[in-house]
Amino acid sequence: MAKPKVATTSMCGCFGCHMSFLDIDERILELIELVDFDKSPIDDIKEFTGPVAVGLIEGSCCNEENVHVLQDFRKHCDVLVAVGGCAINGDIPALRNTVPLSECMDEAYRKSVTTYNPSGQIPNDPELPLILDRIYPCNEVVKIDYYLPGCPPSADTIWAALLALLNNKPLDLPYELIKYD
């Protein structure tokens, strides 16, 4: 019987949620018996190869490519999970939401002490994805089915959630896995 597929992506985040996922350590051997990975930075598959049971989203949307990726995940995944604070509410990247985009670009490409940019040109090659006016959490772009809080959620939390979803069990995580006090 074909194994269910899992896909993951890292958008505007730090890859820490993926690193936490990989912290399941030796359980990764169990995982590869349970699922096949589709589009994911873990296997470097760039495009979906078909329908996917569970999509794990790290990060929020900071540019138009993130929006396309997220919409693509929603289209292909039966269940979509926002993993970590960046995906859920924008978290650290959303700090820029208090500053106009033009000021952010100015600081990044013209004014910072480590910038050398005599022409003052801000990168605008058509190949570059358009930067959005602000950070958009995933649920402002597509419907999200589940949220795993944390920065990052622990490996045990991600593991428990994935097992529940793959086994069609309720996502009823114990307090120990979702407390942050």
In the complex, the residues that contact ligand SF4 under the rule CB under 6 A are: 13-14, 16-17, 58-59, 84-86, 91-92, 151-152
Query: Cβ closer to ligand SF4: 34 or 104?
Result: 104
Nearest approach, Cβ of 174 to ligand SF4 (angstroms)? 21
- Residue 54: strand pairing partners: 6, 79
Cα 131 from Cα 59, distance rounded (Å): 15
Alpha-carbon span 91 to 93, nearest angstrom: 6
Q: Is the peptide bond before 152 cis (omega within 30 degrees of 0)?
A: yes
Q: Which is nearer to ligand SF4, 5 or 93 (CB)?
A: 93
Q: How far is the CB of 121 from ligand SF4 (least distance, A)?
A: 30
Q: How far is the CB of 9 from ligand SF4 (least distance, A)?
A: 11
d(CA 20, CA 31) in angstroms, rounded, equals 15
Nearer to ligand SF4, 38 or 58 (CB): 58
